[in-house]
Chain A
């Protein structure tokens, strides 16, 4: 079955550094990947989508890469701030359908 793997351990970094989160997927090559941010007690918020023919996508301090050979997406936050502390979720469609499946997320903690 398809699976999305994200590091379950929290990532703890100093303010101003670049945070890099990893999303690995198995058994299927999705046409696109999405990244979301989730704060405690809230629903996820859509951040970025990257398609399989795009190697990199940027939005302000965010950058996402998509390596179809490694079956991996990396999510970078440059010049990180304490306000970036949250859980970040990776998602992709199941099979060739529209149904999105999600990883368990990686919690990011940015120390001031």
Chain B
């Protein structure tokens, strides 16, 4: 384990379903991130939270809704997704948002939308 735990590891959902991805870190980090990784494409930044406040929403469709109830937990709520949303969703944390701290990533949730 890397210190960042994501559940579930795999998820298959229909376009009308509602599901949530969960991320947990106990590294004492203040910043948490959601990234999307599609095949053959670079990681795409979706959301950034710093000290539980959302500081970035990178033009992500409203069918993706993040939640950060405390500094250790981050959720990504999903509803009415499209097949093109199928991807690996990665959560990461860092000590802070600045100064070049390395990110600690979870293993990701492989999402398939059918």
Contacts and interface: CB of A to CB of B under 8 A. Distances in A.
Interface in B41-80: 41-43, 45, 48, 56, 58
Interface string B85-114: 000001010000110101111111010000
Interface residues of B, number: 25
Contacts of B31: 98
Contacts of B107: 41-43
B50 to A, nearest CB: 9
B102 A46 contact: yes
Contacts of A49: 100, 102
B45 to A, nearest CB: 6
A43 B106 CA distance: 6
Contacts of A103: 42
| Size band of the interface chain A makes with B | 20 to 34
A100 interface: yes
Given A101-B45, A102-B42, A46 B103 contact: yes
B53 to A, nearest CB: 14
Interface in A19-63: 31-32, 34, 36, 41-46, 49, 51
Interface string A78-103: 00000000000100010000111111
A68 interface: no
A5 B44 CA distance: 15
A51 B42 contact: no
Given A31-B100, A104-B40, 13 more contacts: A41-B110, A43-B105, A43-B106, A43-B107, A44-B105, A51-B100, A89-B43, A98-B31, A98-B97, A99-B48, A102-B43, A103-B42, A104-B41
24 contacts: A4-B42, A8-B40, A32-B100, A34-B100, A34-B102, A41-B107, A41-B108, A42-B107, A43-B4, A43-B90, A43-B92, A43-B107, A43-B108, A44-B43, A44-B90, A44-B103, A45-B2, A45-B105, A46-B103, A46-B104, A89-B43, A98-B98, A104-B40, A104-B41
